[in-house]
C-alpha cells in the first residue's frame, strides 16, 4: 500500500490545474466580442458584441473564483506556485507598459514633429488645452494619496492588523472613485471632442485608457476588500493583494507621465 501511495504522490512542487472549461468559453466569448464589434461597425446591431462582453466578464469572474478556491480551500498555492503567480503578474504589467508606450509614442510623434496639416505648431492653434494645475493637478494628488493609503494597508496586512488593512483599502477605493469622478467632470467640460484632430485623439486615447485602468484597479481592490473581510489573506500568503497593489502603483506611475508629458509639457 505504501508503494502504491508513493507511486501516486506528487513529486514536484508545481500546481497542475484540473481541466477547466473557461479557456474554451472565454475564447468563444472573445470571438463574439470582436466579431460582433466588426458587425456593429458595419451597420449591424450591437447585441453580438454585448453578448461577447458579458460572456468575457462571466468567464473572468468564474475563473478567478476557481483560482481563489485553489489557493484558499485546496491549498495549491505553495511558495513555488506563489513565485510563478508573481512572475505572471509582473509580465502582465510589462505588457501594459508596452500598451501605454504606444500611446506615448503617438503623442510624442505628433507633438515633437507637428505637420503642415496642424500649422506646424503644437498644440494646434485651434485647441484650448486644460490648465494642468487645475483639475489634472488635483487628480494627481488624489492618485498619489491613494498609493500611500494602499501601502499603509499592505504594511498593515504584513503586520496582521486586519482593521487597518480594511481602513486603508476603503480609503484607496474611495480615492480611486473620486479620481474617476473628477476625470469624468473634466471630460464633460473639455473644449474639444474626440474627433477634433490629432491632439484630441491622442489625448483621449492616452488619458481615457488610463481612466479605464483606474476602474479596473478599483474593482480589483474591491475584490481584495471582500477577501480581507472573509479572512483570506495572511501575512505570508497574500499574492492576490500583492497583485492588486502592483497594478495600482503601476497606474499611479503612468498618471505621473501623463500629467507631465500630456497635460503640462504637451499642453504648452
Q: Cell digits for 72?
A: 484558499
Which domain range does residue 202 map to? 77-265
In this structure, is residue 7 part of a structural domain?
Answer: no
Task: Show which of 61, 76, 91 is a domain's final residue.
Answer: 76
CB atoms closer than 10 angstroms to residue 144: 13
pLDDT reported for residue 196: 77
pLDDT reported for residue 16: 77
Average pLDDT of adjacent 10-residue blocks, the chain of 268 residues = 52 78 95 95 92 95 89 81 90 95 91 84 85 93 96 94 95 97 93 83 92 95 93 86 95 95 83
Rounded to two decimals, the pTM is: 0.87
Q: Which CATH number goes with the domain that contains 65?
A: 1.10.287.70
Q: Which CATH number goes with the domain that contains 102?
A: 1.20.120.80
pLDDT reported for residue 3: 53
In this structure, is residue 60 part of a structural domain?
Answer: yes
Amino acid at each position: 500500500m505504501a508503494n502504491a501511495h508513493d507511486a501516486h504522490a506528487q513529486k514536484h512542487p508545481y500546481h497542475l490545474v484540473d481541466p477547466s472549461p473557461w479557456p474554451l468559453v472565454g475564447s468563444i466569448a472573445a470571438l463574439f466580442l470582436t466579431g460582433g464589434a466588426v458587425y456593429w461597425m458595419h451597420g449591424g446591431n450591437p447585441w453580438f458584441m454585448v453578448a461577447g462582453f458579458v460572456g468575457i466578464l462571466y468567464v473572468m469572474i468564474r475563473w478567478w473564483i476557481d483560482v481563489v478556491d485553489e489557493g484558499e480551500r485546496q491549498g495549491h498555492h505553495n511558495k513555488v506556485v506563489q513565485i510563478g503567480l508573481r512572475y505572471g503578474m509582473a509580465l502582465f504589467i510589462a505588457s501594459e507598459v508596452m500598451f501605454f508606450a504606444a500611446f506615448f509614442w503617438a503623442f510624442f510623434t505628433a507633438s515633437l514633429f507637428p505637420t503642415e496639416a496642424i500649422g506646424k505648431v503644437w498644440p494646434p492653434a485651434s485647441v484650448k488645452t486644460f490648465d494642468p494645475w487645475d483639475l489634472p493637478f488635483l487628480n494627481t494628488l488624489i492618485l498619489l494619496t491613494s498609493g500611500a493609503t494602499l501601502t499603509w494597508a499592505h504594511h498593515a496586512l504584513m503586520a496582521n492588523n486586519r482593521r487597518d488593512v480594511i481602513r486603508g483599502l476603503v480609503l484607496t477605493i474611495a480615492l480611486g472613485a473620486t479620481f474617476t469622478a473628477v476625470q469624468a467632470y473634466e471630460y464633460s467640460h473639455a473644449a474639444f471632442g474626440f474627433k477634433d484632430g490629432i491632439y484630441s485623439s491622442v489625448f483621449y486615447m492616452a488619458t481615457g485608457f488610463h481612466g479605464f485602468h483606474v476602474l479596473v484597479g478599483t474593482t480589483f481592490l474591491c475584490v481584495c476588500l471582500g477577501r480581507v473581510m472573509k479572512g483570506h489573506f495572511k501575512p505570508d500568503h497574500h499574492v492576490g493583494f500583492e497583485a492588486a497593489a502592483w497594478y495600482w502603483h503601476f497606474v499611479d506611475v503612468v498618471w505621473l507621465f501623463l500629467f507631465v508629458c500630456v497635460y503640462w509639457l504637451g499642453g504648452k
